[in-house]
Chain A
Amino acid sequence: MSFQKRLASHEFAVLAEIHTPKGINISRLINDARRLKGRIDAVIVPDMENGIMRMSALAGGVLLQQQGVETIMHMYCRDRNRMALQGDALAAHVLGIQNIIVADSADMSESDHSDAQAVSDLNETDLIKALKTLQKGKDLSGFDLDGAPDFTIGCTLAPFSSDQELNQALEQARAKIEAGARYIITPPVFDIASCLPALEKIKTLGVPVIATVFLLKSLAIAQYIANSEPGANITDELIRRIRKSSDREQEGIAIAGENIIALKDKVQGVVIQTLGWEHKLPEILDVAGI
């Protein structure tokens, strides 16, 4: 079943992120995706996430489509102006990609090319509107297209560490949904029980909510996120669980898998983020019974 159909039928969707290489060696990308074939609904290909220059998501997405893996491509506004964004969207459609997530991007100062000039010609809501405009057979200047693309567009919810920030993030999300986003991806959720009230609030947006399950690769990463992102919901108990484990790597995999199970009847789907440990995705799915 395609991701679009799964969304429409309100069935639980399982997605996973796979990053493109920083270089031209695509063997890991292809192998990691192949191992997921038939087990998940679609692979999300982020585009230069966290400001790291990599092979473009468009190329990565097309490579995965060629492997018979449904792809959801990230698009963001920092590095491309409205012409380049529209051109890439048209290219994505003809190359077989019909799912786009309009994502946030790290500030250029946090990127590995901090001396580059940011573009930010459009914002996320503008880009969603632009994609919808293309779907109507027009470009942003009102000129007719020779054939209109079709996309299922998703958006992301900004990270939040308080009710006030959540309300603000929801306000921004509403604008994106009004512009045409059909589902929303949450920031990583770690402690499901304490996240539930926020998830309920997010559901009031009226579109399918897909929660992000983040693989905690090590105790250090868990502690880092707990300290640097107060809204991330990494509890002391979770930190203790990883610390006490004789195999911390395996513990992180177990936590991710268990969280997927816990989220099954709470949200419309999950996206598993492993940030470079895509080869661990099958093990997470094993734990989750997928």
Chain B
Amino acid sequence: MITAERKPLEELIEYIKPYKRILLLGCNECVTVCAAGGRKEVGLLASGLQMAMLKNGKNIEIQQHTLERQCDPEYVEELVQMIDGADAVMSMACGCGVQQVAMRYKDKPVFPAVNTKFMGASERQGVWAERCQGCGNCLLGATGGICPIARCAKQLMNGPCGGSVTGHCEISEDVDCAWQLIWDRLKALGQTERYLEIMPAKDWRPAGGSGPRKIIREDLAE
């Protein structure tokens, strides 16, 4: 999923200060799963903003709505009914959702309420960790299902480096050494010969080296 964390309230207040009627938008997808911008968080933030603004002597109207998927134009279209009642939109979706709304409703200021962080997985209740950088050329088949691009601090293609100590990365004891994980996994799979293969320097072209990427499926595109 795409993970996100809510921005500090003070920053959000700065965004909406000039406006009276705010449409606060959640998203039912990734940001709901990582508890950053789903229906529940929309409700909590609406109360928080209203209280903070009242403290500053300003009464604002906050209309709350959570879309099924904010990155999908089909759902963003739903807002046609309510957009006119708002001076500005604050979106709790990831950056994709914020931009989708901004692109569709060009005359409305749209502000992000969360910081989009990374593509990650849940490690345990309340903990999410980065797992994928969308490099466009998946290596997981060669590395035992552990990604050295997303999980090695140096993005080494042939690790580990000298900073790998007892399975941890030198940057923090809280970070596993990706190459230790790769080795352990290849050993468990009986594929240690894969480790000995020297991988070439990474080709970064599919990772967006030539600018923003696009996928066009001719069979689906209208």
Range of interface residues on chain A? under 10
B25 to chain A: closest CB distance in Å? 32
Contacts of A103-130 to chain B: CB distance below 8 A: 107-109, 114-118
How near does chain A come to B210, taking the closest CB pair, in angstroms? 4
A38 to B219 Cα, complex, angstroms: 66
| B: contact size bracket | under 10
- Residues in A neighbouring B202, C-beta threshold 8 A: 115, 117
Bound together, the chains give a CA A116 to CA B204 distance in angstroms of 6
With A114-B210, A115-B201 given, name 4 new contacts (CB 8 A). A109-B209, A114-B209, A116-B204, A117-B202
Q: Smallest Cβ distance from B208 to chain A, in angstroms?
A: 10
Chain B residues whose CB sits within 8 angstroms of the CB of A115 once the complex forms: 201-205, 209
- Chain A residue at minimal CB-CB distance from B209: A108
Closest to B210 in A: A109
Which residues of chain B (183-205) have a CB below 8 Å from chain A?
Answer: 201-205
Name the distance in Å between A1's Cβ and chain B's nearest Cβ. 44
Once bound together, how far apart are the Cα atoms of A107 and B204, in whole Å?
13
Closest residue of chain A to B205 (Cβ to Cβ) is: A115
Is the CB of B207 closer than 8 A to any CB of chain A?
yes
Q: State the CA gap A49–B210 with chains docked (Å).
A: 17
What sequence of 0s and 1s flags, for each residue 104-119 of chain B, a beta carbon within 8 Å of any chain A beta carbon? 0000000000000000
Q: Mark A36-75, 1 if CB is under 8 A from B, else 0.
A: 0000000000000000000000000000000000000000
Within residues 3 to 24 of chain B, which ones have a CB less than 8 A from any CB in chain A? none
* Closest beta carbon of chain B to A125's beta carbon, Å: 20
Contacting A118 at CB < 8 Å: which of B201, B203, B209? B209
Q: How far is the CA of A190 from the CA of B210 in the complex (A)?
A: 31
| Smallest Cβ-Cβ distance to A116: which chain B residue | B204
**Cβ contacts under 8 Å, B205 to chain A:** 109, 114-115
B: residues with CB less than 8 A from A are: 201-205, 207, 209-211
User: Which among A107, A109, A115, A116 has the highest number of chain B CB atoms within 10 Å?
Assistant: A115
Q: Can you give 26 A-B contacts (C-beta < 8 A)?
A: A107-B210, A107-B211, A108-B204, A108-B209, A108-B210, A109-B205, A109-B209, A109-B210, A109-B211, A114-B205, A114-B209, A114-B210, A115-B201, A115-B202, A115-B203, A115-B204, A115-B205, A115-B209, A116-B204, A116-B209, A117-B202, A117-B204, A117-B207, A117-B209, A118-B204, A118-B209
Query: Residue on B with the closest CB to A108?
Result: B209
Residue in chain B with minimal CB distance to A117: B204
In the complex, chain A residues whose CB is within 8 Å of the CB of B204: 108, 115-118
In the bound complex, residues from chain B placing their C-beta under 8 Å from that of A108 are: 204, 209-210
- Which residues from A are CB-within-8-Å of B207? 117
- CB-CB under 8 A from B209, the residues of chain A are 108-109, 114-118
CA distance A117 to B155 in the complex (A): 12
Least distance between B211 CB and chain A CB atoms (Å): 8
| A117 CA / B204 CA spacing, docked (Å) | 6
Write the chain A residue with the least CB distance to B200: A115
Question: How near does chain B come to A21, taking the closest CB pair, in angstroms?
Answer: 23
Chain B: which residue is nearest A107 at the CB level? B210
CA gap between A109 and B201 in the complex, in Å: 16
Nearest B residue to A111 by beta-carbon distance? B209
List of A residues within 8 angstroms of B203 by Cβ:
115
Most chain A CB within 10 A, of B201, B203, B209, B211, is at B209
CA of A115 to CA of B204, assembled, Å:
5
* CA–CA, A109 and B207, complex, Å: 12
What is the minimal beta-carbon distance from A117 to any residue of chain B, in angstroms? Answer: 4
Considering the complex, give the chain B residue whose CB is closest to the CB of A118. B209
Q: How far is the CA of A114 from the CA of B206 in the complex (A)?
A: 11
Q: Which A residue sits closest to B204, measured CB to CB?
A: A117
Residue of A nearest to B203 (CB): A115
Chain A 82-115 interface mask (CB, 8 Å, partner B; 1/0): 0000000000000000000000000111000011
Cβ–Cβ < 8 Å partners of A109 in chain B: 205, 209-211
Q: How far is the CB of B110 from chain A (nearest CB, A)?
A: 25
Task: Give the CA-CA distance A117 to B203 in the complex, in Å.
Answer: 8
Residues of B within 8 A of A114 (CB): 205, 209-210
CB neighbours (8 Å) of A107 from chain B are 210-211
Cα-based distance from A115 to B203 in the complex (angstroms): 5
CA distance A108 to B205 in the complex (A): 9
Which of B207, B210, B211 has the largest count of A CB atoms less than 10 A from its CB?
Answer: B210
Shortest B196–chain A CB gap in Å is 24
A117 surroundings in chain B (CB, below 8 A): 202, 204, 207, 209
CA distance A198 to B4 in the complex (A): 48
Q: Which residues of A contact B211 (CB under 8 A)?
A: 107, 109
B212 shortest CB reach to chain A, Å = 12
- Measured in the bound complex, the distance between the Cα atoms of B207 and A116 in whole Å is 10
